Amino acid sequence: MQSVLIDTFIVPEESRTALLERTRGVQTFLKTLPGFVEGCVYEKKAGASRHSIITTAVWESEEALENAQKVVAAEYQRQHFNPQEFMKQWKVEIERAVYERFPY
């Protein structure tokens, strides 16, 4: 089964550009990691929801996802980037969950 990391963001309009720029950099890096299958960014245009941006990253297995999380954490440390501080500074709320993906 594939594993999917889904991040849902509540983003104030004034922070939208900063968040999208940061996520583009992360997505470019994720695509280089072993086990990455595909990823998408969804930006809400209509409908009732507190979440305005959703990102997904599909991994070929739970092990690939776990390895990617370690590599990303090391890269953030190398860059001196603290995601929690970034979210706090830009007043962005995030919810993260891992799902299994299978065709229907």
Complete edge-to-edge strand list for the sheet that includes strand 2-10: 36-43, 53-59, 2-10, 93-101
Low-confidence ranges of the chain (pLDDT < 70): none
Reported pTM:
0.91
CATH of the domain at 29: 3.30.70.100
Sign of the alpha-carbon torsion through 75, 24, 41, 27: negative
Computed over every residue of the chain, the mean pLDDT equals 95
Strands 53-59 and 36-43: antiparallel
Q: How many domains does the chain have?
A: 1
Q: 81 in helix, strand or coil?
A: coil
Domain containing 67 equals 2-101
